[in-house]
Amino acid sequence: MNLSVAEAVERRRALRVLSPEPLTDEEVFSMAGAARLAPSCNNNQPWNLIAVRGKERLDALKGCLPRGNSWALSSPLVFAVCSQSSDDCELSDRRDYHLFDCGLAIGELLLCATGMGIIAHPIAGYDPKKAKEVLGIPPSHILITLVICGRPGTDDSMLSEKQLLQQRERPPRRPAEENFFADEWGKPLGL
């Protein structure tokens, strides 16, 4: 599947029904490579990604998930994304760029995955202390997100009613006038 960037942006969804079928090295390397080429403040590249796909470590990491994320148990790959503020620009007014730059890197990973027909779904619901311990992440680093990856699957039995609805239809976006402005705060851009 070769999609244009615009097509990948339009098609990207945080779907939850995944096949346990392993992803190839080429697919994993393509996603990580897309993140690697993301822009960052002063080219600091503050992201650290751990591709977790070995059964023992993957099972231990999945043990850090709450019941609401049990859909992720079938995933053959999880990227753990971590960073520390001192690895990137620390600017005035709390503008610690490492979180922003890691977000850019994961955005590129998501588009690459979508272009290959792979679901890549970042989550915030996990026990970060336990997950850091499982993965050997230093205490100085923040485990920002886990990106659950896999091919589309068919078994939706692990999904709640709300998750089933989100699986069928893209959840609505906020009205554009609430967060896209022209020239000053509150003046709608007109999207």
Question: What is the per-residue pLDDT across 28-61, written as a single tens digit (0 to 9) for each?
Answer: 999 999 999 999 999 999 999 999 999 999 999 9
Phi-psi region of 131 (alpha: psi -120 to 50; beta: other; left: phi over 0): alpha
At the top level of CATH, the class of 5-159 is: alpha beta
Residues 146-177 have pLDDT tens digits of 999 999 998 888 888 888 888 888 888 899 99
Better pLDDT: 1 or 82: 82
* pLDDT for residue 4: 85
What is the reported pTM? 0.92
Cα distance between residue 105 and residue 49, in whole Å: 10
Better pLDDT: 82 or 165: 82
User: Terminus-to-terminus CA distance in the chain, angstroms?
Assistant: 30
* pLDDT for residue 14: 83
* pLDDT for residue 20: 96
At residue 70, φ and ψ (nearest 5 deg) are -65, -20
Q: Which amino acid is at 179?
A: N
CA angle at 17 for the pair 12 and 20, rounded to the nearest 5°: 110
Q: Where are the domains of the chain?
A: 5-159
Place of tokens 């148990």: 73
Q: Which amino acid is at 84?
A: Q
Q: Which amino acid is at 127?
A: D
Residues 84-115 have pLDDT tens digits of 999 999 989 888 899 999 999 999 999 999 99
Residues 131-140 have pLDDT tens digits of 999 999 999 9
Tell how strand 119-123 and strand 48-52 pair up.
unpaired
Within 8 A by CB and 6+ apart from 97, the residues are 40, 41, 44, 46, 88, 89, 90, 91
Other C-beta atoms within 10 Å of 51: how many?
Answer: 17
Closest CA to 17 of 176, 164, 135: 164
Cα distance between residue 138 and residue 84, in whole Å: 10
